[in-house]
Each structure stands twice: as structure tokens, then as C-alpha cells.
Structure 1
Amino acid sequence: MCSSACAGLVCHFLLDPGSAEECASCSAAAEEVSDDLLTRLRRRDTSFVAVSRAPMTEIERYKARRGWAFPWYSSSGSDFHYDFHATRDNSYRSETPSHRSVFEREGSRLFHGYSMFALRAETLGNWCYRLDLPVRAG
């Protein structure tokens, strides 16, 4: 359970609605997210989730095909991915889409710490690295 202050690591997984192709870089990084990693993060009041623009039916189908069990949500029908420049939608996307966003919760308040804007910057395999991602008061 999360204490009064906790961190959330969000992977903006580039899986668009009706897309026949997934982001190869996102998929490679997701292969590194194990149950053990999620447990280690939770023990340190840090959560990890993936979010995609595709509807949940497409996400669940892709998740099952790949054998992934980490939490993955749909932002379908919202501006979430556009707000964080994390989309392959050519009518909107920036030069370097975001792949990670870090959020902090203090009590009932939620803060956006930062987003990383670099393709192939998914240093996901090392759980210690992930614990350095949250913005924590010193």
C-alpha cells in the first residue's frame, strides 16, 4: 500500500486505435517489465503502468498475445496522450514523442514531475534505475 507520498511511472505505450503495428521500441521495453520488478517498485511506494490510445479490447488482445501482466490502461476518448505529446498521430505529434512520464502523489494532490522525450531511451531493465526516476523530496 502506498504511504502518503508515492510515485507513478507511466509508460506511454504507442499503440494507436486500429493500428496494425505496435511501437517496436515500446514492445522491447515492455518485455523487461516482470512481476518481480513491479513488486520491487511497490515496496518502495512506486507504481508502474502503461497507457495507450487504443481501446481496452485492442490492448487486452495485444497483452494476451505477448503474455504481459503489468497494468495497462486506455486513454481512448481523452486528450491524455496529446497533453503529454505521446502519440504517433501525425496531425498532432511532436518531433520527439514522450515515452515516460513521472507523477508524484502527496496526500490527495497529484503532480506531474516530468516527461522524458527521447526515442529508444527505455532503460527499463534495471529496477534500481526506475527508483531514480521519481521526483522525491530530499
Structure 2
Amino acid sequence: MQSQVVTRDEWVAARKALLQKEKDLVRARDALSSELRALPMVKLDKDYKFHGPEGSVVILEDLFGGKDQLIVYHFMFGPDAERGCKGCAFIGEHIPDLRHLRSRNTSMVVVSRAPFDKLDAWKKKIGWTFPWYSSEGSDFNYDFHATIDPAVRPVEYNFSDAAELEAKGLKWNLAGEQPGLSVFFRKDGVVYHTYSSYSRGLDHLLGTYQLLDMTPLGRQDGPQGPAEFQLKYEYDAEA
């Protein structure tokens, strides 16, 4: 996009007009965040099992790591895949130093259906340090709509059923692994599901996009969106 060239005074006037819209958006986001925190919760009645390091098997409550809140990123890496989804890998690059979250009584883990050893090997190849667990053999992915299989659960992704997804032209969401994020809260030994987000609802996790959005050229995305970014070792191979 070619921007118009103007005088400094004209630029300041245009910037002030945009600044007001930015402030309105921040206030709207603050209000939305307040509504999000006030969402009702659903008590969980399953002891989901996860596979972790050294052959360990843990339940969902263990993933809290002693904290009261847990964020789970549903990473697309199916049992038969040789590597994880590149779009999810781009999100993985934006997971912060988890000590910041822990200082706010919150833990974060990544969960996929691939066997733990496969997840761990790929994680080490890329150089990630976040906890990554396998939900292989568990209903976890299906119950939270991160794996779609009509033979297991009725199709639902991003709170839309199969007919709604087809009407929107989102046929790739009708089966297989899907990206998402879910939040859980623990109180008095009981675990509750409080929030889930999918698809474009994950955009605000991507600091690279937030920076590019402030530039004249923007995101420069092709049809594959975040999956077009390279993995760390692919960048290294080009150096």
C-alpha cells in the first residue's frame, strides 16, 4: 500500500485522529476483558491423563503446577505427523518466559495428541523450553474441540457446528487437529473450564503480528497466514 506524502502538520492531524480510535479500541478491549473474566465456569468431571517426561502419567490438576490458573495451548501435532503445525510453531515462538505467568498464580502448558517422545524430540530440535504434554489415548482434545472426528464427537470448532462451518467455507475445520487455547481454574481441589478461543481469536498472542500491524506493509501474509513463517532451524539453515 502506497501512503500519501503530506506535511508534518497534516501527518500530526491524521495521527491524532487515529490515536482517538486506538484509545477507543483499548477501552473496548478492557471492557471485553472484564466480561471474559466474568464468564461462568463449567466443573470438569473427567480425570484426563497426560504423558510427560520419563514415562510419567499425570492428570489435568497436576498441570497447574501448584497454581490456581492454567492456560493450555492446543498445538496441532497428531499421532501420525512427523512434525507439528508450522502455524502453531509460530505461536509457540511467542510463548513468554513462564516465570512471568507463574508470578501471577498461573501456569501454562502445551498439549498435543502425538506421543510424548515425538513431541519432546521436536521441541528440543527447535529449542523450546515450555512444558509439552501428550494427550494420547485421552478424550481431552476431543472434548475441547482441538481434534475433530465425527466418529468420536459431533463436529464443532470455534463454537460452530458442521453445517455452520461448511456455510462459512471452513471445510478444513471439519476434521483433524485444530489450533486453540483453553483456560482452567482450580479451587478447593476442583477444576473448572473457564474459557476457550480458536482460529483468529489467537491472533493477539502473536507479538510479531502486532509489530507488523504498525508498519506500512503490514503482515504481508499469503494464503497460509502464520504457517508461512519459517521454523527456527530453517532460518538457521539459511544463515
- Report TM bin, short chain: 0.7 to 0.9
- The equivalent of 2:205 in structure 1 is 124
Deviation (angstroms), 1:62: 0.9
Contact map agreement 1:29 1:123 (CA 8 A) in 2: no
Aligned partner of 2:77 in structure 1 is 15
**Partner in structure 2 of residue 53 of structure 1:** 113
Gapped regions of structure 1 (runs ≥ 5): 127-138
Q: Give the letter aligned to residue 125 of structure 2.
A: R
- 1:44 is matched with 104
Structure-2 change in CA distance of 1:125 and 1:41 (3 Å): farther
Cα gap change, 1:22/1:98 in structure 2, threshold over 3 Å: closer, same or farther? Answer: closer
Per-residue deviation at 1:91? 5.7
Residue 68 of structure 1 deviates from its aligned partner by: 0.5
Hey, what's the Cα distance between the residues in 2 that align with 1:98 and 1:32? 15
For residues 144 and 200 of structure 2, the distance between their equivalents in structure 1, rounded to whole angstroms, comes to 14
Q: Over alpha carbons, which structure has the higher Rg?
A: 2
When the two structures are aligned, how many residues end up with a matched partner? 122
Give TM-score, length-normalised by structure 1: 0.76
Question: Could you tell me whether the CA contact under 8 Å between 1:16 and 1:88 is conserved in 2?
Answer: no
The offset of 1:118, in angstroms, is: 2.0
Report the CA distance shift for 1:72/1:122 in structure 2 as closer, same or farther (over 3 A).
farther
Under a length normalisation based on structure 2, what TM-score does the superposition of the two structures give? 0.46
Query: Alpha carbons of 1:59 and 1:18: their partners in 2 closer, same or farther (altered >3 Å)?
Result: same
Q: Aligned with 1:44: secondary structure?
A: coil
Task: Assess if the C-alpha contact under 8 Å between 2:76 and 2:179 holds in 1.
Answer: no
Q: 1:112 to 1:125 in 2, by over 3 A?
A: same
How large is the RMSD of aligned CA atoms in angstroms? 2.4
Are 1:103 and 2:184 counterparts? Answer: yes
Q: Offset at 1:64?
A: 0.7
- Deviation track 1:39-60 (CA, whole Å, cap 9, x = no partner) reads 1100000111000000101101
Higher helix share: 2
Contact 2:142–2:148, Cα closer than 8 Å, also in 1:
no
- Confirm or deny that 1:79 pairs with 2:139: yes
CA distance in 2, matches of 1:53, 1:110: 21
Instruction: Extract unaligned runs of 5+ from structure 2.
Output: 1-64, 159-177, 208-239
Q: Is the 8 A contact 2:112 2:134 kept in 1?
A: yes
Whether the 8 Å contact between 1:9 and 1:103 is mirrored in structure 2 is yes
